[in-house]
Amino acid sequence: MTLSTDYLFLTDELEGFRVCRETRTTSEKTMTVLLCMQGYIDVYYHDQMIRINKNELFVRIPDTKYRLGPYQFSPDFAFKQITVDATIFQQTMYDHMRIEPNWWGKQEYVKEHPIFPLNEVSREFFHAYFRLLILQLQDKMSTYREQILRLIARSATMEMLNYLDKLAVITDPKNRMSVNSSDYTFHEFMRLLHQYPHEREVQWHAKLLGITPKYLSEICKERSGKSASEWIADVTVAELKHYLRETTMPIREIARVMDFPNASFFCQYTKKHTGLTPNHFRKQKKQ
């Protein structure tokens, strides 16, 4: 079966796999999770050929460098695949960032170690989420279809992060300070974003790190492809979207909580980064 929307693609068919590969899977704007249920598949990933065997989960998170290339599979290959829009993954990671200072380390770990062996319980969780998404995609009359689909997809991503906690050995960047100082600086910047999400000036972060704003942006660009100001904007926009989408707080109160000078400035910022005023964004998400 193959079902899809603009932001979600599910398939357990080889033809659906091929179509998704050609249109979505290789894009940095999507996240793909594939469970191999039988046989194996060889995929060219980040300059090397990797094999995904039975009961193994392959996870490719949105990234411009970690792309997928040619593939081949065994005659008995069977699978289930979920591909979601990058915004779902990014919002989930931002929510995770609120409680997990080393969220960036986890993300980097997944890039370098994209294959996870799943035990029976974890496979049951995956099948359950896959089935829930299928049922919701088939329900064309659901009033809150998009919201429910996004929540299920985000829950599945959180389940993956929960499983990662049991498997991954994430190295504290402080232990690698002498090996790569720019790597350490970047992780410290990520920590500051986690600790002070409402500080929106690059100069403020650079001062605490003891470097110039220009050098901080160069390090961020080298390590992630985004400048320091882009990272700060991403975190700010993710938070304001969370408040607008998930709460009924008045605009003035959101502006206060997020340390904007006033509601007017908050509205201007939201319009600049989302294309919509806060009220229009909130109404759009309720439709």
| Tens digit of each residue's pLDDT (9 = 90 or more) over 147-188 | 888 888 888 887 877 777 666 555 554 454 444 577 778 878
Question: Could you tell me the pLDDT band of residue 52, with boundaries at 50, 70 and 90?
Answer: very high
Query: Are 234 and 97 in contact, with CB atoms under 8 Å apart?
Result: no
Least confident of 103-112, 213-222, 248-257, 264-273: 103-112
Residue pair 239/78 in contact (Cβ under 8 Å)? The answer is no
Q: For 50-64, 104-118, 241-255, which range has the lowest pLDDT when averaged over its residues?
A: 104-118
Question: Full-prediction pTM beyond 0.85?
Answer: no
Q: Which long-range contacts (CB under 8 A, 24 or more apart) does 17-23 make?
A: 17/79, 17/81, 20/81, 20/83, 21/68, 21/71
For residue 29, give both structure tokens.
């704007």
CATH topology of domain 2-167: Jelly Rolls (2.60.120)
Q: Give the residue range(s) of CATH 2.60.120.280 domains in the chain.
A: 2-167
| Beta-carbon contacts of residue 219 (< 8 Å; ≥ 6 apart) | 182, 185, 186, 189, 211
Q: How many CB atoms lie within 10 A of CB 107?
A: 20
Token digits for 137? 């995609």
pLDDT given at position 173: 46
Options 1.10.30.50, 1.10.10.60, 3.30.930.10, 1.20.20.10; which CATH number does 173-286 get?
Answer: 1.10.10.60
In whole angstroms, what is the distance from residue 246 CA to residue 115 CA? 32
Q: What is the mean pLDDT of residues 34-45?
A: 92
